[in-house]
């Protein structure tokens, strides 16, 4: 049937595309950082959350590997498992708009797109392109983007610089 995860099935069935994760430091709770108050918003139904996978050693996986080799002249080892991460304009618009509306309703000042567009030009690159287009309609909220590798470093070194993070 293709059913693999209750979470993924429920997200798809009910259109639960936005995962909102507040991250906050609390007075009296020992932490390396004080005054942390940021929100991470992730697209919950696309990207790797789409759950499109091909198991190592199966015929359809071998066919996919051969198709990719033929069309993209790229070698994938025959003992590989494969996951596909679709990112659409529609899904990206929805999650980015959600992030900006969340920021506006909660008096947040900045939305940061976190991506891997430098490497994944057709998926994360599309997400970033959509982010910039949607951001241009929210003049009252600052917008910026960070490559995920750099964002990890920034969150360790200077988490107080961030407000709302949106990810595909």
pLDDT in tens, 78-107: 999 999 999 999 999 999 999 999 999 999
Q: Give the list of residues 6+ apart from residue 28 with CB closer than 8 angstroms, or none.
A: none
Q: Which residues of the chain are under the pLDDT cut of 50?
A: 1
Give the 3-state secondary structure of residue 99: helix
What's the predicted TM-score (pTM) here? 0.90
Q: What is the pLDDT of residue 1?
A: 39
Delineate the domains of the chain, giving CATH numbers in brackets: 6-46+86-167 (3.40.50), 53-82 (no CATH)
Q: What is the pLDDT of residue 3?
A: 55
> Residue 143's Cα: distance from chain center in Å?
16
The conformation of residue 34, written as its DSSP 8-state character, comes to S
Strands 142-147 vs 110-115: parallel, antiparallel or unpaired: parallel
């Amino acid at each position: 049937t293709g059913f693999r995860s209750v979470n993924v099935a429920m997200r798809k069935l009910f259109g639960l595309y936005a995962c909102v994760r507040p991250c906050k430091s609390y007075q009296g709770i020992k932490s390396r950082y004080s005054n942390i108050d940021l929100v991470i918003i992730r697209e919950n139904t696309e990207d790797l959350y789409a759950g499109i996978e091909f198991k190592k050693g199966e015929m359809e996986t071998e066919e996919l590997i051969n198709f990719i080799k033929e069309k993209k002249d790229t070698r994938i080892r025959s003992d590989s498992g494969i996951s596909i991460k679709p990112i659409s304009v529609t899904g990206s618009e929805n999650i980015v708009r959600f992030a900006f509306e969340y920021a506006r309703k909660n008096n947040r000042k900045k939305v940061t797109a976190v991506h891997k567009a430098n490497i994944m030009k057709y998926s994360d690159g599309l997400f970033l392109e959509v982010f910039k287009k949607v951001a241009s309609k929210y003049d009252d909220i600052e917008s910026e983007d960070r490559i995920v590798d750099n964002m990890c470093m920034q969150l360790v070194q200077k988490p107080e610089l961030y407000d709302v993070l949106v990810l595909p």
